[in-house]
């Protein structure tokens, strides 16, 4: 809805609230509802807010309320009176101003409280005046006796009940409370009460939220004789309040996730922050975010709290990928709530919330929350994948997929700095007669030989090993936990398997083979990375210039030399 002086809504959170005002829950409300932008222009209004929207700039009290809410960063309420020319109060409206988003927009909601104020004054003057007023302004007027039974109900009844249906029945029997909870009843109050809220059973069995004002009644002898009061049905008001609270919660969670996407450079940390936000916002026992890879199923990307059992993830996988709506499933051990994630309309993952226990369940509000957050989680998953892809590009060799020289050197440095108590062997592997392959068979065959060698090295690798292509036909390995007793066998296996490379030989008299130089790192020696590299490189040079096709292990590092700085 737009009008004179209204501005365009840009921020997503402002757009959501604007729809609520113009076409959603507030559209047909009796009181005005207006969304004011950071420039105090009207972005949206309901039908009841037309007059207020036109006069907004001429109402300084309302302008001050909006400014105060914007300054405080929270909801502010105030009753604003309009007066006639004689200075007498003619009407009073309760306004609530609530900031929306982070750009200065404010939602202004008004409710006419003139009748309520007049009613409270009339109660002091006379019972008859009280009855006359409350019967036209309250949803339920009542009086109870010393047994807590209704002895008077306004003729029109209330809350769906006819007066005759209520008279003579115990008032407390209409109160609704959770099991084991004792309700403070206005129908048996011993003191005057104002703005007391209760949950009351309607005639159709549904629940109504009532705002109640009540006062006790006493007999001439001073004994308590009952109570009388009025009730106003505020169910719709509370539902709107709850919806606004949900909107606010979703905005905060969305902003938190978007900040992580914008500011966090570590992909794993980014996803962990997003999972943590959903975990807390959904009041869950566990939250897991999964990547969905073509042909590879769902792979865990981040998890917080109690993990979702793997069998349940697998069981729900097809339903998640097939539905664009939240998927809920209850089990003997808990309940799962899941939603697919997407980026640019392509599924890239899923989020699953888990609650433990045979009575665990998920509400419609929970489902709406995870649906609202799914777009941001899909973006976070895409951003994390993009970060990881860039990281792989910067640390791996494009042809073989092995580590590049910089990443390998960094990894070796970290290993040595960690002070691992086990030995390790730095191994250089060089292709013999590789230039002849490129010269006679072309670079495409040469590339095939390099890829084949990377496959051989990967086949011999064990947990903790590192493999890299340093450049050209030079490769390097870090053999974790391998010392002098085991190094020869590893080298001989590589040489024997390396005979597979003969097929790429440029000429029979220049066969493709391997030369291997090895340097064993001894824990506690204090040897620097550079000195270790120099030892392995030196024996490699000796092999290359001494016949090729074999391996050599460098002498142990001299303790003094090992601690000297090297380049």
Number of residues assigned to the chain: 567
Q: Find out whether 401 and 454 touch, Cβ atoms under 8 Å.
A: yes
Its pTM stands at: 0.40
Burial 27-38 (b: 16+ CB within 10 A, else e): bebebbbbbbbb
Q: Which of 257, 363, 251, 357 is nearest to 302 (CA)?
A: 257
Residue 85 predicted with pLDDT over 70: no
Secondary structure class of 87 (helix, strand, coil): coil
pLDDT band at 391 (very low <50, low <70, confident <90, very high): low
Residue 565: which pLDDT band, with cuts at 50, 70 and 90?
very low
The residues facing 92 across adjacent strands are 81
Kindly tell me if the per-residue pLDDT of 241 is higher than 50.
yes
Domains recognised in the chain with CATH numbers = 12-112 (3.30.450.20), 116-233 (3.30.450.20), 243-386 (3.30.450.40), 405-563 (3.30.70.270)
CA–CA gap between residue 303 and residue 523 (Å, rounded) = 36
Task: List alpha helices for 210-337, DSSP H.
Answer: 235-263, 267-281, 310-322
Helix (H) or strand (E) holding 134: helix 127-137
pLDDT of 552 reads: 93
Q: What is the pLDDT of residues 343-365, one digit of tens each?
A: 888 888 899 999 999 888 998 88
- pLDDT grade, residue 278 (50/70/90)? confident
Q: Which has more pLDDT, 30 or 553?
A: 553
- Tens digits of residue pLDDT in 500-511: 999 999 898 999
The more confidently predicted of residues 492 and 377 is 492
Residue 433's SS3 state is coil
Q: Which of 342, 362, 359 is closest to 350 using CA atoms?
A: 342
> Which residues of 280-412 form beta strands (DSSP E)?
286-293, 297-305, 327-331, 334-343, 346-356
Query: CA torsion sign, 319 to 321 to 324 to 327?
Result: positive
Q: Dump strand ranges (E) for 433-537.
A: 466-471, 474-480, 513-521
Rounded Cα distance between 45 and 558, Å, is 83
pLDDT value of residue 185: 92
pLDDT for residue 118: 73
What does R_g of the chain's alpha carbons equal in angstroms? Answer: 38
Q: Which of 3-17, 173-187, 310-324 has the lowest mean pLDDT?
A: 3-17
Separation between Cα atoms, residue 408 and residue 403, nearest integer Å: 6
Q: Angle, to 10 degrees, between the axis of helix 487-497 and the axis of helix 443-460?
A: 140
| CA gap 290, 283 in Å, rounded | 19
Structure tokens at 322: 């097939």
DSSP string for residues in 138-207: -SEEEEE-TTSBEEEE-TT-BTTB-HHHHTTSBGGGGB---TTPPP--GGG-SS-EEEEEEEEE-TTS-E
Average pLDDT estimate for 325-339: 92
The predicted-structure confidence for 282-295, as pLDDT tens digits, reads as follows: 889 999 999 887 66
């Amino acid at each position: 809805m737009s009008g004179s002086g209204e501005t365009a809504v840009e921020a997503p959170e402002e757009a959501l609230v604007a729809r609520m005002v113009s076409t959603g829950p507030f559209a047909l409300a009796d009181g005005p509802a207006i969304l004011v932008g950071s420039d105090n222009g009207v972005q949206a209004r309901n039908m009841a807010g037309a007059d207020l929207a036109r006069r907004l700039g001429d109402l300084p009290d309302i302008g001050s309320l909006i400014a105060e809410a914007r300054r405080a960063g929270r909801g502010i309420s105030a009753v604003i009176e309009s007066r006639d020319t004689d200075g007498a109060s003619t009407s009073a409206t309760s306004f609530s101003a609530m900031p929306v988003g982070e750009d200065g927009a404010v939602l202004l909601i008004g409710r006419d409280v003139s009748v309520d104020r007049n009613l409270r004054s009339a109660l002091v003057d006379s019972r008859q005046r009280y009855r006359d007023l409350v019967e036209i302004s309250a949803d339920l007027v009542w009086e109870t006796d010393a047994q807590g039974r209704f002895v008077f109900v306004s003729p029109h009844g209330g809350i769906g009940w006819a007066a005759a249906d209520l008279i003579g029945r115990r008032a407390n029997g209409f109160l609704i409370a959770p099991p084991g909870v004792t309700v403070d009843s206005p129908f048996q109050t011993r003191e005057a009460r104002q703005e007391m809220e209760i949950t009351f059973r309607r005639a159709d069995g549904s629940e109504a939220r009532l705002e109640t004002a009540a006062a006790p009644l006493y007999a001439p002898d001073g004994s308590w004789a009952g109570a009388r009061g009025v009730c106003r049905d505020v169910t719709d008001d509370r539902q709107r309040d709850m919806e606004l609270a949900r909107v606010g919660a979703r905005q905060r969670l969305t902003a938190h996730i978007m900040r992580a996407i914008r500011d966090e450079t570590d992909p794993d940390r980014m996803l962990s922050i997003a999972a943590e936000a959903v975990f807390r916002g959904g009041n869950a026992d566990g939250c897991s975010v999964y990547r969905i890879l073509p042909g590879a199923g769902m792979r865990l990307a981040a998890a917080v709290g109690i993990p979702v059992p793997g069998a349940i993830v697998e069981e729900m996988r097809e339903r998640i990928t097939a539905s664009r709506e939240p998927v809920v499933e209850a089990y003997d051990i808990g309940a799962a709530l899941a939603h697919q994630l997407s980026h640019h309309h392509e599924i890239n993952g899923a989020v699953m919330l888990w609650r433990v226990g045979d009575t665990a369940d998920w509400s419609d509000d929970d489902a709406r929350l995870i649906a609202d957050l799914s777009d941001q989680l899909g973006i976070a998953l895409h951003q994390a994948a993009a970060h990881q892809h860039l990281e792989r590009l910067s640390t791996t060799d494009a042809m073989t997929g092995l580590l590049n020289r910089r990443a390998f050197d960094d990894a070796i440095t970290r290993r040595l700095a960690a002070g691992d108590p086990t030995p390790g062997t730095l191994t250089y592997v060089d292709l013999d007669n590789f230039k002849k392959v490129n010269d006679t068979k072309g670079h495409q065959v040469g590339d095939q030989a390099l890829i084949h060698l990377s496959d051989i090295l990967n086949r011999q690798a064990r947990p903790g090993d590192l493999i890299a292509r340093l450049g050209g036909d030079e490769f390097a390995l870090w053999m974790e936990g391998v010392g002098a007793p085991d190094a020869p066998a590893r080298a001989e296996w590589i040489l024997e398997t390396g005979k597979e490379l003969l097929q790429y030989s440029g000429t029979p008299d220049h066969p493709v083979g391997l030369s291997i130089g090895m340097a064993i790192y001894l824990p506690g020696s204090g040897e620097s990375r550079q000195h270790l590299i120099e030892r392995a490189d030196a024996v490699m040079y000796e092999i290359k210039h001494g016949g090729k096709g074999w391996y050599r292990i460098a002498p142990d590092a001299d303790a003094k030399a090992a601690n000297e700085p090297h380049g």
